[in-house]
């Protein structure tokens, strides 16, 4: 499957094989070609409300923070893919703020991805009806509207205005954000990196998270190494910074 994806670049550049493409990448390619390569090889499997227990915990935390008087909250979807994760976060955050009676809270989400293609889809915020099935009916009707020209459903401005989109390579710290962040979702992406890169990512998350902030990772991932002592495991693939 990977070779078939890379062959798309060979055809586009009219190159006659993988060795020639490797030579091109090393000696001739500009940044745009590397972006194109990333776009074709990136794996993007996501869904609304994927791993629901993460969003249950996010709801509880946001409601507690808002009820306790916190009026500014910042969140990060580190590998946002085509947008289902950050839009789910925005739905849940709004739900929690409403439950706390604090809809005036300044809550923002940063959504990043290495793939410009995925970021474009994320910004567009259009999804087929099948993709919306995990969303509760009332929130689906409130936050998504049918675009009859495409047959897809468009995310409402209410959700979109909470999110800032940016390209970011997690393997190249330090990151531009300063923090503090209330919660970081970095799910199903660290499995693609070696231990050194995973450790660097965790160092950056540790730097950015506030004490008591949430760190959500993928169900097949776990925290290891020296950073582990800085977190408390609060559930399956869920951690809280001490």
Confidence of residue 201 (pLDDT cuts 50, 70, 90): very high
The Cα 185–Cα 104 span in angstroms is 23
Q: Please identify which of the residues 9, 102, 113, 187 carries the catalytic annotation.
A: 113
Confidence of residue 3 (pLDDT cuts 50, 70, 90): confident
Confidence of residue 38 (pLDDT cuts 50, 70, 90): low
Q: Are strands 163-167 and 231-235 parallel, antiparallel or unpaired?
A: unpaired
Question: Which is nearest to 33 in space by CA: 129, 189, 230, 41?
Answer: 41
Confidence of residue 5 (pLDDT cuts 50, 70, 90): confident
pLDDT digits (tens, 9 = 90+) for 55-70: 999 999 999 999 999 9
Q: Is 56 a catalytic residue?
A: no
Q: Which of 16-25, 122-131, 203-212 has the lowest mean pLDDT?
A: 16-25
Q: Is 167 a catalytic residue?
A: no
Specify whether the CB–CB gap between 210 and 179 falls below 8 A.
Answer: yes
- pTM, full prediction: 0.84
Give residues with Cβ within 8 angstroms of 74, minimum separation 6: 107, 108, 109, 110, 179, 180, 181, 182
Tell me the domains of the chain and their CATH numbers: 2-41 (no CATH), 52-241 (3.40.50.150)
Q: Please identify which of the residues 5, 7, 95, 142 carries the catalytic annotation.
A: 5
pLDDT digits (tens, 9 = 90+) for 12-35: 888 787 788 778 777 777 767 766
Q: What is the pLDDT of residue 164?
A: 98
Is the pLDDT at 149 greater than 70? The verdict is: yes
Mean pLDDT of 88-116: 97
């Amino acid at each position: 499957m990977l070779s078939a994806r890379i062959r798309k670049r060979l055809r586009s550049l009219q190159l006659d094989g993988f060795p020639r493409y490797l030579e091109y990448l090393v000696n001739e390619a500009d940044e745009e070609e590397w972006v194109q390569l990333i776009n074709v090889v990136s794996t993007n499997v996501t869904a609304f409300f994927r791993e629901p227990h993460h969003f249950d915990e996010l709801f509880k935390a946001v409601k507690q923070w808002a009820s306790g008087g916190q009026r500014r909250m910042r969140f990060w979807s580190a590998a946002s893919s085509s947008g289902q994760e950050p839009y789910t976060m925005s739905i849940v955050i709004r739900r929690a703020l409403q439950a706390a009676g604090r809809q005036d809270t300044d809550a923002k989400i940063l959504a990043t991805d290495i793939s410009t293609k995925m970021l474009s889809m994320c910004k567009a915020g259009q999804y087929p009806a099948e993709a919306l099935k995990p969303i509760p009916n009332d929130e689906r009707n409130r936050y998504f509207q049918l675009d009859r020209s495409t047959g897809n459903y468009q995310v409402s401005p209410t959700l979109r205005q909470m999110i800032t989109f940016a390209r970011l390579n997690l393997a190249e710290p330090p990151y531009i954000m300063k923090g503090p962040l209330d919660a970081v979702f970095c799910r199903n992406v660290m499995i693609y990196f070696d231990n050194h890169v995973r450790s660097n990512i965790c160092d950056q998350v540790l730097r950015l998270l506030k004490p008591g902030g949430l760190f959500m990772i993928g169900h097949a991932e776990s925290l290891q190494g020296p950073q582990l002592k800085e977190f408390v495991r609060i559930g399956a693939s869920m951690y809280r910074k001490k």
